[in-house]
Structure 1
């Protein structure tokens, strides 16, 4: 799977980050807790230089809890600060406030941070919670946030929001797949059915019960047959009585992204290749 996506606003985002680094004390990188490595900006340290980085694993309610705990330990072992949050239910924000209080106490003013991350990891939802704002644009499509905006978050934070950012070419297919599964790449750039078959392949290896319980499929079948079963069991039929596998593929991806298949982590700390090699 070869994905190239680097529109002009992403190059602009990199410029916004670099131009405003001198104004901030910390960089808050939002990643998806289900795939912290794959949604982590690979050249983040080159981009932010010596600025302090805090990795915030958002959507922790959709990831396997024990796996997320291992990621926190992994980042700590590698000298990186991280914490997990659920922005929808405001879980984990107490630790964030403690982090802000500790740093801001040293500088005797509200902590100034810049929020960065790939599309669709929930940056706007995170900012809504921390700033107590209901009016910021949020959505489940990558790239909805535009421009830049400073927000005052009580007496603890002053935040600069930035649009989503991706790198010019995704070299590792496994990374591209996980970004696609999570909705970080625009659907128009993807072969939705192909991506859904890859997701089915992964789930059948690691979490077969999720597909059986959610869609009533036969776990012994191969991914194309399972996708067809999903379509038929959901009543998605196309002209001529054929199963509408495209609609089934879109439904599967959407429901996975929304957590309707359960708490599923896509990667483990230190995992190299493994189950992703043959997908």
Structure 2
């Protein structure tokens, strides 16, 4: 299965990034703490080459704390600086900026040694769409200078933004890879909102999500939707049970599956079903050995 979502502005973004790299001291890569593997665009690593990088696990408030700790250890054990972040509330931003400045210390010191006046650290923010780049900038500035949105693809151009005396940020559009052959990655990007809702099969994604929740988080479904402890094994029946409890009914008492599915998806994305981490560090090891595992059992589009 190939999800083709690579609009022209993304190809342009890659060219812009390459053209600005010589000006950059440190790259900040934002990933979704719920899916650090699936939201880590391999194209970004290729683009930045040997530039110092700080990995920021954003939306950490929506992820399972124990799993987030595992991911921090994973990145740090591989020589990468990694921090947790909740750009929406501002938690973790101070540590992030401190780490970015630390990563640039060596380069700034070399400039000073050459007789060049010390300057602010220049950092570039990269990440896939809807991972929270503009929200982070707004939080750092304490204002809504950078445009934000609740859908992928809001940011289109580049902008330099001064943050205090010691840091300058270059915002860039979200960069998603041209195609995704891994159905699990496609599912996780879709369910967390990184892919526009109108380009994948919403029904299949929601039913798959219900399968995951039933398997590993059944207690949350029972509590949130006031269901019986013995959940239906069939995900369509499970969705019908949720719809009935939430009053998602059409004329004649027929279940409105689309409305019920939207409720589940929204509850998942906003944390009303609790904290979730869908990626595990051990998957990253498998991914490194086999970068593009495929699974053609379910097509999302």
TM-score, scaled relative to structure 2: 0.87
**In structure 2, how many angstroms separate the alpha carbons of the residues matched to 1:98 and 1:159?**
14
Query: Equivalences for 1:32-43 in 2 at 5 Å?
Result: 32-43=32-43
Unpaired runs of 5+ residues, structure 1, are none
- Report the RMSD for the aligned CA atoms in angstroms: 1.9
Secondary structure (helix, strand or coil) at the match of 1:270 reads helix
Aligned counterpart, 2:275: 263
Aligned counterpart, 2:53: 53
Alignment pair present for 1:254 and 2:266: yes
Shift of residue 47 of structure 1?
A: 1.1
Shift of residue 217 of structure 1?
A: 3.0
1:129-183 Cα shifts (integer Å, max 9, x gaps): 1232223221221111111111111112111111111111101111111001100
**In structure 1, how many angstroms separate the alpha carbons of the residues matched to 2:213 and 2:18?**
39
Which stretch of the first structure deviates more once superposed, 32-41 or 77-86? Answer: 77-86
Larger gyration radius, structure 1 or structure 2: 2
Given the alignment, which residue of 231, 236, 239 partners 1:224? 236
Aligned counterpart, 1:149: 159
1:10-34 Cα shifts (integer Å, max 9, x gaps): 1111111111111111111111000
Aligned counterpart, 2:15: 15
**In structure 1, how many angstroms separate the alpha carbons of the residues matched to 2:173 and 2:166?**
23
1:194-229 Cα shifts (integer Å, max 9, x gaps): 100011111111111111111123453121111112
Secondary structure (helix, strand or coil) at the match of 2:82 reads strand
Query: Equivalences for 1:151-170 in 2 at 5 Å?
Result: 151-170=161-180
Which stretch of the first structure deviates more once superposed, 255-264 or 177-186? Answer: 255-264
**In structure 2, how many angstroms separate the alpha carbons of the residues matched to 1:80 and 1:252?**
35
TM-score, scaled relative to structure 1: 0.93
Q: Is this contact kept in 2: 1:217–1:226, CA < 8 A?
A: no
Shift of residue 240 of structure 1?
A: 3.9
Unpaired runs of 5+ residues, structure 2, are 109-117, 288-294
Which stretch of the first structure deviates more once superposed, 218-227 or 79-88? Answer: 218-227
Counting matched residue pairs gives 277
**In structure 2, how many angstroms separate the alpha carbons of the residues matched to 1:254 and 1:220?**
20
Q: Is this contact kept in 1: 2:2–2:180, CA < 8 A?
A: yes
